[in-house]
Structure 1
Amino acid sequence: MFLKRMVVCVLVGWLSMAAALAAQPTKSLDFIENRGQWDSRVRYAANLHQGGYFWRATD
């Protein structure tokens, strides 16, 4: 009986945590215009969790 209750509690906790994480809003990328703070080839940049994204002009 104890084991059954423990399994149910763990499952309910896991499902609650999964539901809470799924309800988090997704984060969008905010692009920043280059106004001289980066290399002149870079038009826009966005900060990512583990780095950055740079959008360069193509000639």
Structure 2
Amino acid sequence: MQYIPMAQPGAFYVCVELADDAYEKVFLAGTNTIMPTEGQPHGRICVALDPFGNTGWITSF
């Protein structure tokens, strides 16, 4: 039996200067919203899901 590797969705976490602007760009690029940009005690944060199943956390401090 031959092993065939399968791609798995991943996750990434990025810190940017303006989370709201970054969220708008990824949303317009075709991602789905898991959590819209909102204020947290440590800064602004949002979560998006791309068409391949990868989850992206975008935050600003």
TM-score under structure 1 normalisation? 0.28
Which protein has the larger Cα radius of gyration, Structure 1 or Structure 2?
A: 1
Which structure is higher in strand share?
A: 2
More helix by share: 1
Alignment TM-score, normalising by the size of structure 2:
0.27
